[in-house]
Every structure is written in C-alpha cells, then in structure tokens.
Chains A and B, each alone.
Chain A
C-alpha cells in the first residue's frame, strides 16, 4: 500500500464528495481518505479514490495539465480545475474540503455536469472568424503584436466553465449568455481580421447579453487562466458605445455617468432613471420614487450638485477623445500593468524590489 514511499513522501488526504446518483435521484455527502504523494493535486486524489475505494465515482478529466478544461468542479464552493489544486497545504492544515459539481449547469452524475447549455451559449456568439470575403486572399495577412494584444487574454480561455459556475446573473437568469460566451464574443469582436464586428455587437446587445452582467466579478476570481471575463464584457460595452450601438438600457445607463461626470462632476442621480428607462417607463416608477423622496433618497436635480473645478473634468473629456484610446483600447492599455499583479505581490512578500516597469 505504501510502496510509493520509497520514491516520494505520502500525505494523508481526506475529502468529502457530494455524490449524485441520477437513477435513484439521491444525493449524499461521502467522506474518503487516501495516502497521496505530496505533490498530488485534487485530480490525483480523485483518481486514487476511484482506483482504490470506489470505482463508481464519476468526474471528467483529460490532459491533467490545465489546458483541456475538462476537470472543472467546486472545492468548498469555489469552482476550480482539479488538476491545478495542490492538496498538501490543505491536508497539512487538517482541513477536509467539500468537493461538488460546478454550479449553474445541470448535474448528470457526481461531479459531472451537463455542458450542453454552456456549449449552446458559446455557439450562439458564432465563435469563428468572419473575414469578410469568400475567396482566399493571395497575400498573407500580417497581424501586428499590438493587434494581437487586444485579444490576448480572451484567447487564453480553455472553456472549462469555472467562470460560469458562480455567475450571479446566470443564477438569476439562466438564459444570460454568461462570462465564457461573452469573453469568446470579444475574442472575435476584437480580432482585427474579423469583419463582423457591428453584427456581432448588435446581437450581443440584445437581452441576456452584455448589459445583463451584474459585475459581481466572480468570473474574474474563478478563471484559472487569467482571462478576466468581466473585463472582456466591459470591452464589449466600450466597443458598442464607441460604435453608437447604445439602444440598450444598460448602455444608456453607462452613458449617463459620462454625461454626469463632464457636466456636474458628480452623478446626476435623480435623472438616471428617466435617462436609462425613458420618460414613459420611468413614469410607472413614480409611486416608488415618491416613497424614496419622502426619505430624502431623491435629491432634487436643481440646483445641480456641481463639483469644484469641474471644468477640468470637462476639458479632460474633450482631450482624451482626441487621443485614439476609445472603446476597448482604453481597457487594453491597462492590462500590461494588471498582468504584473501576482508578480509584484510575490516580490513584495519576499521583501524585494518588484520588476514593474
């Protein structure tokens, strides 16, 4: 049993796994304990359990190296790739993690979810290049590094579903396209070779699209590959508004913040509802608004609450609009610094100088 110890140290790893039997419909939390090599990841431990204790345990796996995206599951409620999570620190701390299937997708058996709704949403964003011609060009099309950088992060997606698992909007609206499909959408909207940008954005601006994102940031937190889907959704919003695809209430809402900042500096809060929903819809809210007004929650728009030196904010708006960083480019320009976060934080922990430029 401990034969392996001649080559490497073993650790005692305990897990609780939510089992689900689709035939009986029964759910049960079962505990397992195995001796695992100290380098074992969660997937290795599941393999040991299946091999030595219970061959009926169901989970998906393939590459074992964080690139196929098969082994998404929850550990203590957090969506993770089983092949990325080292178990030794957890076992050393005496913690017994609870393993369960990912959220927001139907469970088929144990840790296996039905990915069909996920793939349907990926397909819905037409995840293929639309070059705008039928005949293959005679000359090679050169794409610069700078042009590739725009979609670099979104291209890293391995479609594991971890970002979808805890998506708060999707919990409330299962039809929401969600972080993986929208990040995939930007991967093509932002591709300089693609000629379907306007058509794509028009589709993504419909219900259950870009403006349904509630900005809970669970997707950025969970993504094991650094795609940051929420940022991709913001890039889609920024590209839409740049191209005047702004019919959605979400786009109107976002634009009102810009208008507020450049006119009074502060949010013109009371006007936000009619500017977002239109006059007719907002009239239906009058009872609700009056109730809030009684409590001072509807600040009068006149005289406006104007920030000191607001002329600077106005001038800044005029100035930056001439500098060619509109749309997604305004977000992409910050990614160079954001990509260094782990690097800098680790260096700070070591007490040394960081390598930021």
Chain B
C-alpha cells in the first residue's frame, strides 16, 4: 500500500524523539514511506533551543537554528520536516528572520562558515509532519494507507500551542478553529471529539519551574476529553505528549482524579490505522497504558 510518488524531505527529529520519546521517531520512520515521504535524516545538527535558548541567549538560538537550516539546505531538499511543535516554531521563526533580512543572514552565514558549517542561502521551508499529511496529496494518500482503520474510536485532537500560535509565523490553519488533526482522525476511521482546551497549553514549558501552574493547565484537556468520552488524545508534539502522558500521575496526586487517558503521538495514531507493528509503535514506552485502546481495536 506504499505511495507511488515519493517526496524527499530533510528530517529533523529534535531532542525528545532522539531520547525519551524514541517511539515518535520509530513510528515516524516506519510511517513516512507509506505516505510517500522519503526521510533524509540530518546528522550534524543540534537542539533548536526549545524556546529556552531563545530566552537565555537569543543570538546563539538564531545561529543554532541557522546551522540546522543550512544542513537541511545541503541535502538539496526544499523542505525541512519537523515532528515537534516547539522545533517547528523555533526553526520557522529563525528561518523567516534569515530569509527576510539579508544583512542578518550574511552575518550569521559568515559565522557559520567560520566554525566550519555550511552557510545558509535561505531556500528551505520548515513544515511539520502534520502539515505534510493534511495538505494536498498527503491527505488522499493517508486514506489509502490507513487500511486497518480506527473502528470509530473516539479520539480527542490536542494541537498544543506552538503549531498554531503565533499564526503569522506558523500560518498553516486558523489558530482558533484548526481542522487538520480532525481531518486525519476521520480519514483513519476515528471519530474526532471536540472540546475547548484542544488549542490551549499543556503546561510543559513551566512544568519543572512552576509545577502547580502547569498542572492547572494540564488538567484541562485531559479532563475535558475524558468527559467527552474520548478513548485517547492525539498530539503532534512530543513535549505535549510527555506532559499529558507522564504527568497524569501527578494530576492524580494533586487532584485525586485518575484519568488513565492514553496519549498517542500523531505518527502512532496513523500508524495503528496503517497496521504498523508494536516494534515500530512502541506503546510499551508510554506511562499511561495504551492497552485498553489496542484491545478495542482488536475486538
């Protein structure tokens, strides 16, 4: 059921998919060829700074992201594909600045060359996997790929912040009425659940420095999705995934509420519908068990 035409993209997996969220990388790597996406994985790249380097040493942030963009450009691909909201915003913000300010790009490129990295000419577009699937051919291919379907499973889409806002930098869809995840859930044979917190923050950026405030944010999507009868939440961001999945136990401790809400990466949701194996999906790496969901699908 592999796609007939392939599109080669530079693949930047970011920190979490290399470390604590390896399941995101393995499921993406397994899914991409089915969707007609050939991944040219970048090796000589670093963290995008996750918004933290932007806030600590913003000039260094710009250079680190320019270096990632330059290595992506060197592959000859016109698109740098991300699988994390935060990487998407950081790279797109830097890319916009570098593309639209020749003086700035000249200075940064010169610095890159000084340390032995390629200069950046400004020819790459940064796109999240979600967008590559939701736009144009990707969506049609998805309908064929998701042959196993989701048997009407109720899935709550959780976008997270930095794939929607600021929309002038991201700009794929209406940040207040996004549709891409819902369309994908439907194409896979699931039933998308609507709830207000699907576009709000999961609390992750401050979960270590301000846990109480973060938990006050985190509970909203989980509680609302749970009340709406969702079998699972799906998110395009590994940071949202980590807080929604791993920090649920802290919600239980703080509020007494035990949601046991399974959280899926986007590539896992499509992967299940496309019949990927556990060795690729790696549900065993989740803190909240995905077993009830798998049982429903196998019933």
* Chain A contact residues, CB within 8 Å of chain B: 76-78, 168-169, 171-173, 176, 211-218, 220-221, 228, 230, 233-234, 237-238, 241, 248-258, 260-261, 265-267, 269, 272-273, 276-277, 288, 291-292, 295-299, 305, 307-313, 315-317, 319-321, 323, 325-331, 333-334, 336-338, 340-342, 344-345, 356-357
Give 11 A-B pairs besides A173-B216, A291-B287, A316-B63 with Cβ atoms closer than 8 angstroms. A220-B165, A234-B55, A249-B209, A257-B50, A266-B15, A269-B15, A295-B285, A297-B246, A312-B115, A334-B94, A341-B168
Are A216 and B59 neighbours in the complex by a CB distance under 8 Å?
no
B18 adjacent to A320 (CB under 8 Å): no
Are A76 and B64 in contact, with the CB atoms below 8 A?
A: no
Residues of B within 8 A of A214 (CB): 201, 203, 205-206, 213-214, 217
Find residues 139-175 in chain B having any chain A CB closer than 8 Å to their own CB: 161-162, 164-169, 171, 175
Task: Decide if B47 touches A299 in the complex (CB within 8 Å).
Answer: no
The reply to whether B209 and A276 form a contact with Cβ atoms under 8 Å apart is yes
The answer to whether B59 and A333 touch across the interface, beta carbons within 8 angstroms, is yes
CA distance A327 to B59 in the complex (A): 8
Evaluate contact between B57 and A258: CB separation under 8 angstroms.
yes
Q: Report whether A295 and B67 are in contact in the complex, using a CB–CB cutoff of 8 Å.
A: no
Question: Measured between alpha carbons, how far is A317 from B175 in the docked complex, in Å?
Answer: 35
B50-71 residues with Cβ-Cβ distance < 8 A to A are: 50-64, 67
| Binding-face segment, B38-46, B228-236, B256-264, B272-280 | B38-46
Verify if B101 is at the interface (C-beta below 8 Å from A): yes
B206 near A211 (CB under 8 angstroms)?
Answer: yes
Given contacts A214-B206, A257-B49, contact A269 B213 (CB under 8 A): no
Determine if B8 is an interface residue (Cβ-Cβ < 8 Å).
no
Judge whether A334 and B52 touch: CB under 8 Å.
Answer: no
Which listed residue, A212, A217, A261, touches B162 by the CB 8 Å rule?
A217
Q: Does B116 have its Cβ within 8 Å of any Cβ on chain A?
A: yes
Sample 25 A-B pairs with CB under 8 A, ordered by A number. Answer: A77-B196, A168-B200, A173-B212, A211-B209, A214-B203, A214-B213, A221-B175, A238-B55, A238-B57, A241-B55, A241-B57, A254-B53, A255-B56, A257-B50, A258-B57, A266-B46, A269-B16, A277-B208, A292-B20, A312-B67, A315-B114, A321-B57, A330-B61, A334-B62, A341-B96
Give Cα A221 to B19, complex, Å: 32
State A338–B251 Cα separation when bound (angstroms). Answer: 38
What chain A residues lie within 8 Å of B212 (beta carbons)? 172-173
B290 to chain A, nearest CB (A): 11
Residue of B nearest to A340 (CB): B100
Are A338 and B15 in contact, with the CB atoms below 8 A? Answer: no
Q: Is B250 touching A288 in the complex (CB atoms < 8 A)?
A: yes
Alpha-carbon distance A250/B52, docked complex (angstroms): 9
A313 to B287, CA, bound (A): 34
